[in-house]
Structure 1
Amino acid sequence: MHYLPLRPPAMISNYELEALEFLSKQTDGIVLTQPYNRERAILAQPNPPRPLYLYESTAYVSAFSGKRTYLEDEVNLEITGYDWRERRNEVEPFFGDNCKIDVNFFTDKEVSYIYLVKQNLCKREFETIADKIFENLEVVLLIL
């Protein structure tokens, strides 16, 4: 019996690997990543392999960069009983349709970096509060 699909269900692109390698060489700091978007993930299901950020909530940015993230891997946070929903509620407005960026959040939470896949609609708003340190076809890294 064959249990593996012909195509992998998820992948991390070379562009993301390049960005994460760059991030790994930066000074330590907390990284803000986009919260997992279940609706977008469902829409991407028919076209495997999906980008890892559209597969499931994982800690891949932290794992590949060696940096702490403000919110990742909601699945395991839930399993371990960590109250992650408050953090998600804090950051969701930054990535929603309205792009409501709260500058004080970044100081209060000591966030140093913002990791954005370019599909994020709020890229311009983030670039008004942080400096771009890396960009390729898929990822923008900003530093505060």
Structure 2
Amino acid sequence: MVAGTTTPAAAEPERGPHVRQIGEERATSINLGHPSRSGTVEVRYPGATYIKVHFASLRLAPGDYVTVTDPTGREVYTYHGVATAGDSSHTLHGRPGFAAMSVDGEVAVVTLHASTPGSAARIDGYWRGYT
């Protein structure tokens, strides 16, 4: 009788959750509005794959709103001071304010659409995607 032996397969390394960082948060301080009625600003990071703007606060009169768009206007996200049916989705990050939906590319165009002076939007940061 011949006894055979087998060699166990090489031990597989343990695989745990792997976190892949796809972007980073950048601080900024941008104020739109008060005392002017409206305004536009570009949030830009050369080479970014996306920009996601964080609003620290929105103080908007009824009917006033902000939009976050890509430069072509293909992606448009709208937000009112008090959430309104039809407003775009947003995310919360454990601090005051909210983050708008991200736009593809290295530029987000943020516009305050105000009919009277006094409305304001404050941006305190943004996320930029890695290439």
| Fold-level similarity (TM above 0.5) | no
Which has the larger share of helix? 1
The structure carrying a bigger strand percent of its residues is 2
Larger Rg: 2
Structure of higher RCO (CA pairs closer than 8 Å, 6+ residues apart): 2
